[in-house]
Amino acid sequence: MKFEVREDVAHVAVAGADILEALVRDRPEAVVVLPTGRTPIAMYREMAQRVVAGKITLGGITTFNLDEVLLKRSDSRTFFQFMKTHAWGPLGIDESRAFIPDCEASDPLAECDRYEAEIARHPRFDVAFLGIGQDGHVAYNLPRQVQARTHVVTLDAATAAALGESAQTVRAITMGIKTIASARRLVMLATGPRKRDALRRLRDSEPSPEFPASLLKDHPSFLVIADKEAAASL
């Protein structure tokens, strides 16, 4: 695991976009894992600018989302809606090659198997872009709710509140930690003071399901790109 510290959110976004740009120059048909959340929004904006400027073309890539919440597809909190707004459209990604768990799956467990099978039908992930929760969650591998492969989780109150809804029980489908770790490269973005303690804990802790991000520490290519605020305790 390596840490790279950049000045601010904008510089972290540039660093993330640089990684994707270099990858698709080499492999226009790359398979890429994409995150949702507040953190990657600046990176998607940076990538979109490069697409508009003709610096990169993302029409050949295949993407898999890390996770999805089990809500109506029309709900603005679904990651389907997030991706439509921030990524698929603005980046010119071919939606027939943009995979995300079905938020309206009638049988969520079967949907997990279907998603793993879809992943298995494709070449190995070239890169997985990740975020980190303050409690160390990665995708929705929550503390003590970690599994190896794609699975269903019930969000705890704090995680559900981050979606903008605290009163309701929200379930989600998430890639498992081994599914994520199967990528050739892991690139985690972390910005702002809220992530300070999580990054210090990531650096200092032994791999443990109590702090799921730590389970990725043994990956041979794991880069954490943090801004100065998030890295202040490192």
Task: Please report, as ranges, the residues that interact with ligand PGA according to CB under 6 A.
Answer: 37-39, 131-133, 137
CB of 189 to ligand PGA, least distance (A): 8
**DSSP H helices in the chain:** 9-26, 41-52, 79-83, 89-91, 108-120, 157-161, 177-181, 196-204
Rank residues 24 and 230 by Cβ distance to ligand PGA and give the closer one. 230
CB of 39 to ligand PGA, least distance (A): 3
CB of 25 to ligand PGA, least distance (A): 27
Neighbouring residues of 151: CB distance < 8 A, sequence distance ≥ 6 = 112, 173, 174, 176
- 177 touches 162 (CB < 8 A): no
Between β-strands 222-227 and 2-6, what pairing exists: parallel, antiparallel or unpaired?
parallel
Rank residues 35 and 108 by Cβ distance to ligand PGA and give the closer one. 35
- 130 touches 189 (CB < 8 A): yes
Rank residues 38 and 122 by Cβ distance to ligand PGA and give the closer one. 38
CB of 36 to ligand PGA, least distance (A): 8
Q: How many CA atoms lie within 13 A of 175 on its CB side?
A: 27
Could you list the beta-strand ranges (E) of the chain. Answer: 2-6, 31-34, 62-65, 67-69, 98-99, 127-130, 151-154, 171-174, 185-190, 222-227
CB of 67 to ligand PGA, least distance (A): 9
Give the dihedral sign, CA 166/84/173/144.
negative
Number of residue whose CB is nearest ligand PGA:
37
Rank residues 50 and 195 by Cβ distance to ligand PGA and give the closer one. 195
Rank residues 57 and 229 by Cβ distance to ligand PGA and give the closer one. 229
Rank residues 92 and 156 by Cβ distance to ligand PGA and give the closer one. 156
Place of tokens 């073309």: 57
CB of 163 to ligand PGA, least distance (A): 9
